[in-house]
Amino acid sequence: MTELLARLGQSGIIFLRHLGRATTLLLHILSSVGEVLRRPRLLLEQLFSVGVLTILIIGVSGLFVGMVLSLQGYYILSQFAAEATLGVMVAASLVRELGPVVTALLFAGRAGSALTAEIGLMKATEQLSGLEMMAVDPVRRVLTPRFVAGLISMPLLAALFSALGVAGGWFVGVGLLGVDDGAWWGQMQARIDWNEDLLNGVIKSLVFGFACVWIAVFQGYNCLPTSAGVSRATTRTVVHSSLAVLALDFALTALMFN
Amino acid sequence: MSLTVGTQGGGAPDAAAPGSVPLPGDQPPLVRIRNLHFSRGEREIFSGLDIDIPRGGITAIMGPSGTGKTTLLKLIGGQLRPDRGTVEVDGLNVHALSRQELYRLRMRMGMLFQSGALLTDLSVFENVAFPLREHTALPEPLLRKLVLLKLEAVGLRGARDLMPSELSGGMARRVALARAIALDPMMIMYDEPFTGQDPISLGVLVKLIRQLNDAARLTSILVSHDVEETNAIADLVYVISNGKVVESGAPAKLAASGSEWTRQFMQGLPDGPVPFHYPAQPLEQDLFGEKS
Ligand SMILES: Nc1ncnc2c1ncn2[C@@H]1O[C@H](COP(=O)(O)OP(=O)(O)OP(=O)(O)O)[C@@H](O)[C@H]1O
Ligand SMILES: [Mg+2]
- The predicted-structure confidence for B179-210, as pLDDT tens digits, reads as follows 998 888 999 999 988 887 788 878 888 888 88
Ligand 1, atom 4: closest residue by C-alpha: B40
- Amino acid sitting at position B184: D
Q: What percentage of residues in chain B have a pLDDT greater than 90?
A: 38
**Distance from C-alpha of A2 to C-alpha of B200, rounded to nearest angstrom:** 66
Name which of B104, B106, B118 is nearest A133 (Cβ-Cβ). Answer: B106
Mean pLDDT of chain A: 93
Interface test with A, best of B102, B130, B188, B190 (most A CBs within 10 A): B130
- Amino acid sitting at position A86: L
**A146 neighbourhood in chain B, CB within 8 Å:** none
Q: Is the pLDDT of residue A56 over 90?
A: yes
The ligand 1 atom at the shortest distance from the C-alpha of residue B74 is 18
| pLDDT value, residue A167 | 95
| pLDDT value, residue A113 | 95
**Distance from C-alpha of B289 to C-alpha of B287, rounded to nearest angstrom:** 6
How many Å lie between the alpha carbon of B194 and the closest alpha carbon of chain A? 19
How many Å lie between the alpha carbon of B100 and the closest alpha carbon of chain A? 9
Q: What is the mean pLDDT of residues A219-245?
A: 95
**B185 neighbourhood in chain A, CB within 8 Å:** none
> Of A128-142, B110-124, B131-145, B249-263, where does mean pLDDT reach its minimum?
B249-263
| pLDDT value, residue B2 | 40
Q: What is the mean pLDDT of residues B101-124?
A: 90
Could you tell me what percentage of chain B is helix, strand and coil, using 3-state DSSP and rounding each to the nearest 5? 35, 20, 45
| Res. A205 pLDDT band, cuts 50 70 90 | very high
Whether B210 and B33 have beta carbons less than 8 Å apart is answered as no
| pLDDT value, residue B18 | 37
| pLDDT value, residue B81 | 92
Q: Is the pLDDT of residue B276 over 50?
A: yes
| Res. B16 pLDDT band, cuts 50 70 90 | very low
**Distance from C-alpha of A108 to C-alpha of A142, rounded to nearest angstrom:** 19
**Is B190 part of the contact surface with chain A (CB cutoff 8 Å)?**
no
**B130 neighbourhood in chain A, CB within 8 Å:** 134, 136
Q: What is the mean pLDDT of residues A19-48?
A: 91
**B120 neighbourhood in chain A, CB within 8 Å:** 122, 125, 127
Q: Is the CB of B278 under 6 A from ligand 1?
A: no
**Distance from C-alpha of A84 to C-alpha of A184, rounded to nearest angstrom:** 6
Q: Which pairing describes strands B187-191 and B58-62: parallel, antiparallel, or unpaired?
A: unpaired
Which residues have C-beta within 8 Å of that of residue B160, sequence separation ≥ 6? Answer: B123, B124, B125, B147, B148, B151
**Is B135 part of the contact surface with chain A (CB cutoff 8 Å)?**
yes
ipTM over 0.90: no
Q: Is the CB of B115 under 6 A from ligand 1?
A: no
**Is A133 part of the contact surface with chain B (CB cutoff 8 Å)?**
yes
Q: What is the mean pLDDT of residues A21-28?
A: 94
| pLDDT value, residue A20 | 94
pLDDT single digits (tens) B64-84: 888 889 999 999 999 999 999
Ligand 1, atom 12: closest residue by C-alpha: B68
pLDDT single digits (tens) A113-143: 999 999 999 999 999 999 999 999 999 999 9
| pLDDT value, residue B12 | 39
Is pLDDT larger for residue B278 or for residue B166?
Answer: B166
Mean pLDDT of chain B: 83
**Distance from C-alpha of B45 to C-alpha of B183, rounded to nearest angstrom:** 32
| Of the candidates A213, A235, A250, the residue with the CA atom closest to the CA atom of residue A101 | A250
Whether B82 and B33 have beta carbons less than 8 Å apart is answered as no
Ligand 1 geometric centre to CA of B23 (Å): 33
pTM: 0.85
* Highest mean pLDDT out of B118-132, B166-180, B213-227: B118-132
Q: Is the CB of B15 under 6 A from ligand 1?
A: no
| pLDDT value, residue A120 | 96
Q: Strand, helix or coil at B148?
A: helix
Whether B117 sits inside 8 A of A129 (CB atoms) is: yes
Ligand 1, atom 3: closest residue by C-alpha: B40
Q: Is the CB of B86 under 6 A from ligand 1?
A: no
> Of A149-153, B128-132, B194-198, B257-261, where does mean pLDDT reach its minimum?
B257-261
pLDDT single digits (tens) A64-122: 999 999 999 999 999 998 888 999 999 999 999 999 999 999 999 999 999 999 999 99
Q: Is the CB of B110 under 6 A from ligand 1?
A: no
Name which of A130, A135, A137 is nearest B117 (Cβ-Cβ). Answer: A130
Ligand 1, atom 30: closest residue by C-alpha: B66
Q: What is the mean pLDDT of residues B216-238?
A: 87
| pLDDT value, residue B115 | 82
| pLDDT value, residue B131 | 93
How many Å lie between the alpha carbon of B223 and the closest alpha carbon of chain A? 17
Q: How many CB atoms lie within 10 A of CB B222?
A: 25
| pLDDT value, residue A119 | 96
**Is B81 part of the contact surface with chain A (CB cutoff 8 Å)?**
no
Whether A130 sits inside 8 A of B113 (CB atoms) is: yes
**Distance from C-alpha of A70 to C-alpha of A74, rounded to nearest angstrom:** 6
**Distance from C-alpha of A165 to C-alpha of B53, rounded to nearest angstrom:** 67
User: Which run of H or E residues covers position A132?
Assistant: helix A127-133
Q: Which ligand is nearest to the CA of B71?
A: 1
Q: Is the pLDDT of residue B6 over 80?
A: no
| pLDDT value, residue A193 | 86
Q: What percentage of residues in chain B have a pLDDT greater than 70?
A: 87
Whether B119 sits inside 8 A of A127 (CB atoms) is: yes
Ligand 1 geometric centre to CA of B16 (Å): 36
**Distance from C-alpha of B213 to C-alpha of B52, rounded to nearest angstrom:** 17
| pLDDT value, residue B216 | 77
| pLDDT value, residue B275 | 65
**Is A72 part of the contact surface with chain B (CB cutoff 8 Å)?**
no
Is pLDDT larger for residue B168 or for residue A225?
Answer: A225
Q: Is the pLDDT of residue B11 over 70?
A: no
| Of the candidates A113, A72, A78, the residue with the CA atom closest to the CA atom of residue A223 | A113
Whether B79 sits inside 8 A of A129 (CB atoms) is: yes
Whether A133 sits inside 8 A of B111 (CB atoms) is: yes
**Distance from C-alpha of B62 to C-alpha of B49, rounded to nearest angstrom:** 14
| Res. B287 pLDDT band, cuts 50 70 90 | confident
Whether B83 and B98 have beta carbons less than 8 Å apart is answered as no
Whether B233 and B224 have beta carbons less than 8 Å apart is answered as no
Terminal Cα distance for chain A, rounded: 41
| Top mutation candidate among B45, B189, B276 for ligand 1, by most atoms within 8 Å of CB | B45
| Res. B269 pLDDT band, cuts 50 70 90 | low
Q: Is the CB of B45 under 6 A from ligand 1?
A: yes
Whether A135 sits inside 8 A of B117 (CB atoms) is: no
| pLDDT value, residue A154 | 95
